[in-house]
């Protein structure tokens, strides 16, 4: 297959030979240090090059001017020092056979004035973007001249930094803010007719071309249809693409459909879990047919079969699998080696993108090596030491990861699980139909474990004797937790946990009060499940907003469901107690600000308050272990192997991981496991 696989066919872009059709489109992982793409940034992209990708586009819109301050760690292309860092990165990526380009932009109104140099945010017209919430100033003539110059200067730095090409970001940013009738209300030569609205971007493209010459590769990542009654129509978008293509100034179009002025809108451009596969692929194919320039595109093309179809059917020249490469940077290599089933799937969780909007760096929910390439392996190497016996208790994400890594190291692994299937809390979460894809995190690990000979023992609630009977050298306790109800003053026996509902142990009531003091996906998952089941739902949260830990691309589908089912959302209320009221329940909620008490009578009170660790087995085994359960945090953080010995007579080393320590998330659980197991 490899020889004829459409995905593995080379592609010639102008003078540049791309070794296959795999592309990672621009995405800002916020790995910059001082605005520069230093070691972490470089290693992240080099890993994809090692994994066989043809082209990686760096810089989620690297910014060209100080009045476009980073929205989330963007590269500062207006500084000369960037050239050196680009050069190092380009050399590293090239050394592994891939090409590297960079996306540049002026963010326009899509940023904030209270950052970096505190310059006013600018836009074609003084219209606020709801997502970033800055009130912009309408650009003046001297702004336009200055910004065009900045684009050309930045493009020159990219060329000098050894990039193979550049791409101008034209969706939701300054260039296309001029195109869109929704954001351009000008009455000068930059507003009104399509010619006028295109003037700024055309001047930018001309200025760049004049500066970098005709040979350098230049493309547009452009919206060709804002899919918005107020916005750029499909006809106008196509016309813009055709005009740029006909100008001969651009070498490719990277197609976007949709707009991004709200989180809800963005969730369709970067579609996540539960969204249709490749929703804009056919449209991208239409742009290709209409422009006759090479076309790139990415939007939820997550699996190799869909990617193959995109190329084979002539819709795309280069197929963007951006989050798919965040989850697994070695896709091309695995395809070429006939190991497609080894590809760690992107499950569309959106943890990567949502984190950057919270000021964090992009991390994959189930690949803790991404962005940590200096310390964490994407490929687990066999241990050079003796083969050891490893017992893992609990087949949730932490336990499965420990078993996967330990077995890939070549050790003999037994995995005890009390339930009849692996997955723990992930399996519960997968009961919400829209998010069932999350089970991919479990399925991939089970398959990898089976491949490496892990012995699964299901339906066994492991006691210490079961563990010791295996004569282990190492024991991982990944027993997870149980729903936490300890906070209630009264009525723990009357409430229903989110687990009861999701597992089917309890049926959703007719009228339900859901108390969500988790604030993350678990709370909204049970909320949507109840709403979709037909319960009349009120969600009470002690926070000042619902689900503060659920990010921008994830909350819109939940909120859509809650709105559709008229769920009532009550903030600033903490559940204090639950009592019986005839055949119903009476819940007392307290407002922490004025201490007022609020009573609700409902059929069912459902609680989501995280978990309490299930740690009995750990504490039973602890005295007999060599390390007495201790982890050397200094060594852990510095990426050195664990060497704690507190009880030389102990026959095994004991680690507790995941929610068996404390209620956290999937990434934390898997990272616990990887960083301890990778060195054994």
The footprint of ligand SF4 (CB under 6 A) covers 323, 326-327, 346-352, 364-366
Q: Rounded to 5 degrees, what are φ and ψ at 643?
A: -135, 25
**Interaction of residue 55 with ligand FMN, rule CB under 6 A:** no
450 Cβ contact list (under 8 Å, min separation 6): 456
**Interaction of residue 301 with ligand FMN, rule CB under 6 A:** yes
C-alpha–C-alpha distance, residues 120 and 98, integer Å: 39
Residue 364 touches which of ligand SF4, ligand FMN, none (Cβ within 5-8 Å per kind): ligand SF4
Looking at beta carbons only, is 365 or 395 nearer to ligand FMN?
365
Q: Dihedral sign, CA of 46, 47, 51, 54?
A: negative
Angle, vertex CA 250, rays to CA 246 and CA 253, nearest 5: 95
With contacts defined by CB under 6 A, how many residues of the chain interact with ligand FMN? 24
Nearest Cα to 620, choosing from 425, 479, 423, 485?
479
**Interaction of residue 353 with ligand FMN, rule CB under 6 A:** yes
Give Cα 540 to chain centroid, integer Å: 28
CB 61 within 8 A of CB 78: no
C-alpha–C-alpha distance, residues 318 and 310, integer Å: 9
Question: What's the DSSP call for residue 418?
Answer: S
Choosing from 37, 51, 52, 60, the residue that interacts with ligand FMN (CB under 6 A) is 60
**Would you put residue 258 in left (φ > 0), alpha (ψ -120 to 50) or beta?**
left
Please report how close the Cβ of residue 611 comes to ligand SF4 at its closest, in angstroms: 22
Please report how close the Cβ of residue 348 comes to ligand FMN at its closest, in angstroms: 8
C-alpha–C-alpha distance, residues 258 and 266, integer Å: 8
Looking at beta carbons only, is 41 or 178 nearer to ligand SF4?
41
Distances (CA, A) of 23 to 51, 100, 101, 409, 630: 12, 10, 11, 31, 44
Please report how close the Cβ of residue 269 comes to ligand FMN at its closest, in angstroms: 7
Residue 26 touches which of ligand SF4, ligand FMN, none (Cβ within 5-8 Å per kind): ligand FMN
Residue 268 touches which of ligand FMN, ligand SF4, none (Cβ within 5-8 Å per kind): none
Angle, vertex CA 13, rays to CA 9 and CA 14, nearest 5: 145
Please report how close the Cβ of residue 7 comes to ligand SF4 at its closest, in angstroms: 19
**Interaction of residue 452 with ligand FMN, rule CB under 6 A:** no
Choosing from 299, 369, 402, 432, the residue that interacts with ligand FMN (CB under 6 A) is 299
**Interaction of residue 320 with ligand FMN, rule CB under 6 A:** yes
Looking at beta carbons only, is 30 or 333 nearer to ligand FMN?
30
Looking at beta carbons only, is 256 or 327 nearer to ligand SF4?
327
Residue 349 touches which of ligand SF4, ligand FMN, none (Cβ within 5-8 Å per kind): ligand SF4
Interaction residues for ligand FMN, span 89-148 (CB under 6 A): 103
3-state secondary structure of 538: strand
In whole angstroms, how large is the CA radius of gyration of the chain?
Answer: 27
Please report how close the Cβ of residue 132 comes to ligand FMN at its closest, in angstroms: 13
**Interaction of residue 28 with ligand FMN, rule CB under 6 A:** yes
Choosing from 7, 89, 122, 362, the residue that interacts with ligand FMN (CB under 6 A) is 362
Looking at beta carbons only, is 364 or 478 nearer to ligand SF4?
364
**Interaction of residue 267 with ligand FMN, rule CB under 6 A:** no
Looking at beta carbons only, is 362 or 408 nearer to ligand SF4?
362
Q: For the chain, count helices (H), then strands (E).
A: 22, 27
Instruction: Name the E strands within 148-271.
Output: 165-170, 217-225, 252-257
Please report how close the Cβ of residue 287 comes to ligand FMN at its closest, in angstroms: 15
Residue 365 touches which of ligand SF4, ligand FMN, none (Cβ within 5-8 Å per kind): ligand SF4
C-alpha–C-alpha distance, residues 555 and 348, integer Å: 13
Closest residue to ligand FMN in the complex (CB): 60
C-alpha–C-alpha distance, residues 393 and 403, integer Å: 10
Residue 335 touches which of ligand FMN, ligand SF4, none (Cβ within 5-8 Å per kind): none
**Interaction of residue 169 with ligand FMN, rule CB under 6 A:** yes
Question: What's the DSSP call for residue 567?
Answer: -
Looking at beta carbons only, is 256 or 349 nearer to ligand SF4?
349
Residue 320 touches which of ligand SF4, ligand FMN, none (Cβ within 5-8 Å per kind): ligand FMN
C-alpha–C-alpha distance, residues 474 and 536, integer Å: 49
**CA atoms lying within 13 Å on the CB side of residue 275:** 26
Determine which helix (DSSP H) or strand (DSSP E) holds 45, and give its type and residue range: helix 39-50
Please report how close the Cβ of residue 93 comes to ligand FMN at its closest, in angstroms: 17
Residue 19 touches which of ligand FMN, ligand SF4, none (Cβ within 5-8 Å per kind): none
| From 20-28, 94-102, 305-313, 632-640, span contacting ligand FMN (CB under 6 A) | 20-28
Looking at beta carbons only, is 131 or 395 nearer to ligand FMN?
131
**Pairing verdict, β 16-18 and 11-13:** antiparallel
Q: Rounded to 5 degrees, what are φ and ψ at 513?
A: -105, 120
Nearest Cα to 474, choosing from 375, 390, 407?
390
| Placement of tokens 């102990």 in the chain | 650
In Å, the largest CA–CA distance within the chain is 83
Looking at beta carbons only, is 331 or 540 nearer to ligand SF4?
331
Q: Which residues bind ligand FMN (CB under 6 A)?
A: 25-29, 60-61, 103, 169, 221, 270, 298-301, 320-324, 352-353, 356, 362
């Amino acid at each position: 297959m490899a020889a004829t696989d459409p995905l593995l066919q080379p592609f010639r872009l102008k003078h540049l030979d791309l070794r296959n059709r795999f592309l990672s489109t621009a995405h800002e992982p916020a790995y910059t240090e001082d605005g520069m793409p230093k070691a972490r940034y470089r290693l992240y992209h080099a890993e994809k090059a090692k994994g066989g990708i043809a082209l990686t586009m760096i810089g989620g819109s690297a910014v060209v001017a100080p009045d476009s301050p980073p929205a989330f760690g963007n590269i500062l292309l207006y500084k000369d020092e960037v050239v050196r860092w680009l050069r190092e990165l380009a050399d590293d990526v090239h050394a592994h056979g891939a090409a590297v380009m960079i996306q540049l932009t002026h963010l326009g109104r899509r940023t904030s004035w209270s950052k970096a140099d505190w310059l006013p945010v600018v836009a074609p017209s003084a219209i606020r973007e709801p997502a970033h919430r800055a009130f912009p100033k309408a650009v003046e003539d001297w702004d336009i001249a200055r910004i065009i110059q900045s684009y050309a200067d930045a493009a020159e730095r990219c060329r000098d930094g050894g990039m193979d090409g550049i791409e101008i970001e034209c969706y939701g940013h300054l260039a296309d803010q001029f195109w869109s009738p929704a954001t351009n209300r000008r009455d000068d030569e930059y507003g009104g007719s399509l010619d006028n609205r295109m003037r700024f971007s055309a001047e930018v493209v001309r200025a760049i071309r004049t500066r970098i010459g005709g040979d350098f590769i230049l493309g547009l990542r452009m919206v060709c249809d804002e899919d918005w009654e107020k916005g750029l129509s499909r006809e106008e978008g196509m016309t813009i693409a055709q005009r740029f293509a006909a100008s001969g100034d651009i070498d490719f179009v990277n197609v976007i459909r949709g707009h991004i002025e709200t989180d809800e809108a963005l969730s369709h451009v970067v579609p996540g879990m539960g969204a249709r596969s490749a929703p804009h692929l056919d449209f991208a194919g239409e742009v290709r047919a209409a422009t006759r320039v090479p076309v790139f595109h990415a939007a939820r093309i997550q699996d190799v079969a869909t990617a193959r179809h995109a190329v084979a059917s002539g819709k795309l020249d280069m197929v963007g699998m951006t989050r798919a490469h965040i989850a697994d940077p070695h896709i091309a290599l695995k395809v070429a080696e006939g190991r497609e089933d080894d590809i760690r799937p992107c499950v569309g969780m959106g943890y990567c993108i949502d984190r950057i909007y919270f000021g964090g760096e992009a991390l994959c929910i189930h690949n803790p090596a991404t962005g940590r390439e200096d310390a964490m392996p994407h490929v687990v190497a066999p241990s050079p030491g003796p083969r050891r016996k490893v017992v893992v208790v609990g087949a949730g994400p932490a336990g499965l990861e420990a078993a996967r890594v330990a077995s890939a190291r070549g050790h003999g692994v037994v995995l005890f699980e009390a339930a009849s299937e692996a997955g723990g809390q992930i399996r519960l979460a997968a009961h919400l139909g829209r998010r069932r894809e999350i089970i991919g995190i479990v399925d991939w690990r089970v398959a990898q474990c089976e491949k490496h000979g892990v012995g699964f023992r299901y339906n066994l609630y492991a006691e210490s004797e079961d563990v010791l009977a295996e004569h282990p050298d190492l024991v991982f306790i990944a027993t997870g937790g149980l729903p936490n109800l300890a906070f209630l003053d009264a009525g723990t026996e009357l409430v229903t946990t989110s687990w009861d509902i999701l597992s089917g142990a309890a049926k959703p009531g007719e009228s339900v009060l859901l108390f969500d003091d988790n604030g993350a996906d678990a709370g909204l998952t049970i909320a949507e499940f109840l709403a979709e089941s037909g319960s009349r739902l009120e969600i009470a949260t002690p926070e000042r907003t619902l689900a503060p830990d659920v990010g921008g691309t994830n909350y819109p589908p939940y909120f859509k469901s809650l709105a559709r089912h008229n769920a009532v959302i009550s903030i600033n209320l903490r559940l204090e107690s639950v009592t019986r009221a005839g055949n119903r329940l009476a819940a007392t909620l307290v407002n922490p600000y004025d201490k007022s008490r609020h009573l609700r009578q409902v059929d069912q009170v459902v609680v989501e308050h995280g978990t309490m660790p299930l740690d009995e087995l750990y504490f039973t085994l602890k005295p007999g272990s060599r390390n007495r359960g201790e982890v050397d945090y200094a060594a852990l953080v510095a990426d050195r192997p664990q060497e704690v010995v507190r009880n030389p007579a102990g026959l095994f080393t004991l680690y507790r991981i995941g929610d068996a320590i404390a209620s956290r998330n999937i990434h934390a659980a898997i990272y616990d496991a990887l960083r301890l197991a990778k060195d054994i």
